[in-house]
Chain A
Amino acid sequence: MTPRIEITVMPEGETSVETKGFAGSACKAASKPYEDALGSQSAERLTPEYHATEAVAHTVEQRA
């Protein structure tokens, strides 16, 4: 999946920023400038994709 940032802005002005297709911690670094430009963070949620990637990395670490 091509890495991308999806920003959804509701009519009331509430905004959510979601990253997709990133490897490692790059997703947070990529979205941070957009988060800072839009305002201040009020909540953060890690997606299933986040945990799936972390689980793979953990397995690889155990085998090494």
Chain B
Amino acid sequence: MSHVVTIETKLRDPAALLAACVRLKLPEPRPETVKFFDGAEHSGLAVRPPGFVYPVLVQPDGAVRCDTYEGRWGDDAFLGRLKQAYAVEAAKLQANARGHRITETALPDGGVKLTVTAGAAGFGAAPQQVYGGAA
């Protein structure tokens, strides 16, 4: 039997976030407390894309906080690319931890399709290693 689940991406795993930054050729995200334009201070892992006035701050619950001033202080489309890269890398980490095979295919519309098949142990096997808090 089969089903389709739509997921709202949450950037909760620091290892997957690091891998996403490597994929996007960005510096390693670092823990920072950032004071945004509105004066509010927030802490998390700071991602610094080129051209951004404020870093993109990934908070421990996976929420993303940034201030692009409607694109004047940074490309709003970057947030989508960061989430996409994170989702791809998080899925790959899961597959590696569970001994599954995973292949990546670029789609014409800019999407990425990942196909996961089980190894010899099947899909029910316990993970060999769990990354972050979202096993």
Contacts and interface: CB of A to CB of B under 8 A. Distances in A.
B7 A35 contact: yes
A34 to B, nearest CB: 5
A61 interface: no
A46 B3 contact: yes
Interface in B62-80: 62, 77, 79-80
Contacts of A35: 5, 7
A27 B111 CA distance: 24
Nearest to B95: A34
Given A3-B123, A40-B10, A17 B84 contact: no
Contacts of B22: none
Interface residues of B, number: 45
Interface of A is mostly: mixed
A28 B114 contact: no
B116 A11 contact: no
Given A3-B117, A11-B109, A44 B5 contact: yes
A7 B9 CA distance: 12
A25 B3 CA distance: 10
Interface of B: 1-10, 12-13, 16, 62, 77, 79-84, 86-88, 90-91, 93-94, 98, 107, 109-118, 123-124, 127, 134-135
23 contacts: A9-B84, A9-B91, A9-B111, A14-B9, A18-B5, A21-B2, A24-B1, A25-B1, A30-B118, A30-B123, A30-B124, A33-B94, A35-B5, A37-B13, A39-B9, A39-B87, A40-B7, A40-B10, A41-B5, A44-B5, A46-B2, A47-B2, A49-B1
Given A13-B86, A49-B1, 15 more contacts: A3-B123, A4-B117, A8-B112, A9-B91, A11-B77, A12-B83, A16-B6, A24-B1, A31-B5, A35-B5, A37-B94, A39-B7, A44-B6, A46-B2, A47-B3
